[in-house]
Amino acid sequence: MTFVLKRLILGVLLIVLASGALLVSDLGRRSATARSVPHVGLLQHASTMLLDEGTRGTIDGLAEHGFVDGKTIIIDQFNAHGDIAVGNSIAAEMVQARYDLLLTMSTLSLQAVANANRDGKTVQVFGLVADPAVAGVGVS
């Protein structure tokens, strides 16, 4: 019985030590200074000339107003490559990642992120959408 108890205590001790090491190794990512630069997630539904140019124009417009990617803002770009299921999966991951802002570049991307972000955890801004009300997304 004592042998089993010693092995159990050793196992729990090893788990606690491994957990502590992982928490300490991730400390820099969780500190307030690590998030001093806003993080933006940008979802584009497909690579078409219109969407590519619109995305590039958005990033250039942000740079003109002082939000330079990699310096004063970090923009993670995602592309569903025309696959709705992939777009929905990316949208769910973007919402879970806790970006400071979510940008969507197409009606399908808008719908995917709006569905994943129903609780309004993250502010969402959209572009290249003809009519968001017809797309079934309430605008506020």
Report the DSSP beta bridge partners of residue 43.
Answer: 78, 104
- pTM above threshold 0.75: no
Of the pLDDT bands very low, low, confident and very high (cuts 50, 70, 90), residue 134 is: confident
Q: Please determine, for residue 138, whether its predicted confidence score (pLDDT) is greater than 70.
A: no
Q: Are residues 42 and 24 in the same domain?
A: no
**Residue 13 is assigned to a structural domain of this protein:** yes
Q: In the prediction, which pLDDT does 33 show?
A: 47
**Residue 55 is assigned to a structural domain of this protein:** yes
Domain count, the chain: 2
Q: Are residues 50 and 103 in the same domain?
A: yes
Show the domain range for 121: 37-127
pLDDT tens-digit series, residues 11-60: 888 898 888 888 888 776 665 545 589 999 999 999 999 999 999 999 99
Classify the phi-psi angles of 18: left when phi > 0, otherwise alpha if psi is within -120 to 50, otherwise beta.
Answer: alpha
